[in-house]
Structure 1
């Protein structure tokens, strides 16, 4: 599976990585994901063909301002995330990518909600304590979506295929 993600600027990434480290379970064997906003998923797609199709969009898109002040939790995947306040620019970027990538085999087509995943696969007894800890540690986040990346995900292993930096 290929996953398109919006990578965050350095300062925001450091803040999120610190939160991820504080939430990580001592016996966890899963690697933490790099701070990002998931955009679209594709099945059996050639990453370089996808890059060729989407590069013009990235080249004409300015870096995207992001704000997050809400913590979220999903029982599906037992994961915590930061809810990103949608902006018109972020929605337009997403829609442009979705339209341009229509010729590729799309993964599950669900209603997109911009969010930054923090940690997943949390056992039920830890949901409450981790949410309380996150609520104490998290401060509202302002940042920038700095790059469009394509990740190949196979059996919980992620490989970065390519990055396209947005205009600063």
Structure 2
């Protein structure tokens, strides 16, 4: 599976990485995810063909800003995340990317919910304590998208296939 993500600016990435380290279980062997907003997922797609279709958008779009002020939790995947309030530039980027890559097999959800994953596979006994800790540690976050990246995900292994940096 190929996952198209919006990588975040350095300042907001450092803040998210700090939160991730605080939430990480001491015996966890899984690597922390790089700070990102998931955009679209593709099945059996050549990353270089996808890059060719999306590169013109990355060159011509304003880097989107984002605001995250709420904590979210999903029982599916036992995942904590930050909810991103979609603004016009972020919605425009998502729509443009979806339209430009319409010919690729897409595993997109019916309704896109922008978010920043923090940690997943959290054992049930830790849900409450981690949520309480996150509520104490997290302050609203403002940032900017810095790059579009294509990740290939196989099992628990993620490989970055390419990056397209967004220029202001």
Where structure 1 has 5 or more consecutive residues not aligned to the other structure, the ranges are: none
Matched, 1:135 2:135: yes
TM-score by structure 2 length?
A: 0.98
TM-score by structure 1 length?
A: 0.98
| Distance in 1 separating the partners of 2:57 and 2:6 | 13
Cα deviation per residue 1:121-146 (whole Å; 9 max; x = unaligned)? 01111000000000000011011011
Number of aligned positions between the proteins: 168
Cα deviation per residue 1:81-109 (whole Å; 9 max; x = unaligned)? 00011101101110111111110011243
| Distance in 1 separating the partners of 2:16 and 2:163 | 20
Matched, 1:37 2:51: no
Alignment of 1:105-120 (within 5 A): 105-120=105-120
The alpha-carbon deviation at position 155 of structure 1 amounts to 1.2
Residue of structure 1 in register with 2:123 after alignment = 123
| Distance in 2 separating the partners of 1:45 and 1:110 | 20
Alignment of 1:73-92 (within 5 A): 73-92=73-92
Residue of structure 2 in register with 1:2 after alignment = 2
Judged with a 3 Å threshold, the aligned counterparts in structure 2 of structure 1 residues 167 and 83 are, in CA distance, closer, same or farther, namely: same
> In structure 1, the residue corresponding to 2:101 is in which secondary structure?
helix
> In structure 2, the residue corresponding to 1:103 is in which secondary structure?
coil
The alpha-carbon deviation at position 110 of structure 1 amounts to 3.4
The alpha-carbon deviation at position 161 of structure 1 amounts to 0.4
Matched, 1:19 2:19: yes
Aligned Cα root-mean-square deviation (Å): 0.8
Where structure 2 has 5 or more consecutive residues not aligned to the other structure, the ranges are: none
* Runs of at least 4 residues off by over 6 Å: none
The alpha-carbon deviation at position 73 of structure 1 amounts to 0.4
Residue of structure 2 in register with 1:167 after alignment = 167
